[in-house]
Amino acid sequence: MTNSAQKNQGEIVVFRTSELPQELQALLPAEAEPHRCAFFFYGKPNPAVSALWKEVPEPAIGQVNEGMALAEAVAGLFTPHDRVVERLFPKSVPDYERTKFGFGFHSGDAEEVTAFLSSRAKLVSIQSLLDQVQVLRNPAPQLHVLADRTLHHAESKSPGLHTLETYRWPKGPVTVLGAKGCARFELSSKGQVLDLDLQVFTIEGFHDWFHIIRIDQIDTDGQRKAVEEQVFMDNAGYPLALGPHLGGGVHMVNNKEPGTITLTAREAKGEVTLPSKASILEVVIK
């Protein structure tokens, strides 16, 4: 395939399980046959991958489902990130259409598969992607990151695994928040996997106008339950979304002005007084 033809299709990330951090390798049983295969993920459609399925025979192999689960997990770590998505699709594809991704492995000889794809498309090494992220492991479905007075969502499509693009963050520690607690640490890259124990909330590293609020509601039976839906606060007579819901009824508020605010969730209302310093609060709305 000519260079011009390669430029008209997206790049393909190709890897072997041996190139992954041990924590990711462990997603596939140690003796599983797919460990000897070439894995990949890409933007759909991709002519090189389509040709691979048609032209390179696949011998029968065991643990196919387990191999596909690993391929999906690794792809899910990177496909939420803009820099990766840009590489997986041709420039001719508009941003709003860059939403479909393929992943898998080929049971043929890994070197032959890699050479076949390389002759038809530009390949991306998994290490080049790992070098740009911090991988976080925590069972929470979503995590948020506080750095340089800005709150961000930690992207992931892989259950229990999240990635932060280290080049986006300022030097110094960041705070990662989940539904049950937070942790503060320095980011590293090179694909290192950091296990996060998020069981306790602290306000270390919080700026004065950030507050963590546990919001409960008394239901019609008099039972207290966590408020899981969007909460609003008054803002000079206008409703303003409170901030991200971390899960389990724990919400964040970013408000530079201390004082009492009214919180509203559906028909329930309640008041909470925000101190002048970062704080951890509880409120019940009725």
Tell me the two tokens of residue 54.
């048609």
pLDDT value of residue 11: 96
pLDDT value of residue 6: 56
Tell me the two tokens of residue 9.
């299709």
- CA pair distance 243, 245, nearest whole angstrom: 7
Q: Which tens digits make up the pLDDT trace of 189-226?
A: 666 788 988 999 998 878 788 899 999 998 777 888 99
pLDDT value of residue 2: 46
Nearest CA among 147, 140, 142, 116 for reference residue 51: 116
Residues of the chain with pLDDT under 50: 1-2, 4
Q: What pTM was computed for the model?
A: 0.80
pLDDT value of residue 50: 96
Task: Please tell me the class of the 210-285 domain.
Answer: mainly beta
Ranges of each domain in the chain = 3-130, 133-195, 210-285
User: Nearest 5 degrees, angle CA 144-CA 149-CA 155?
Assistant: 25
120 CB-near residues (< 8 Å, 6+ apart): 1, 6, 47, 48, 51
pLDDT value of residue 190: 65
pLDDT value of residue 33: 97
pLDDT value of residue 140: 81
pLDDT value of residue 81: 87
Place of tokens 């041990």: 22
- CA pair distance 49, 110, nearest whole angstrom: 14
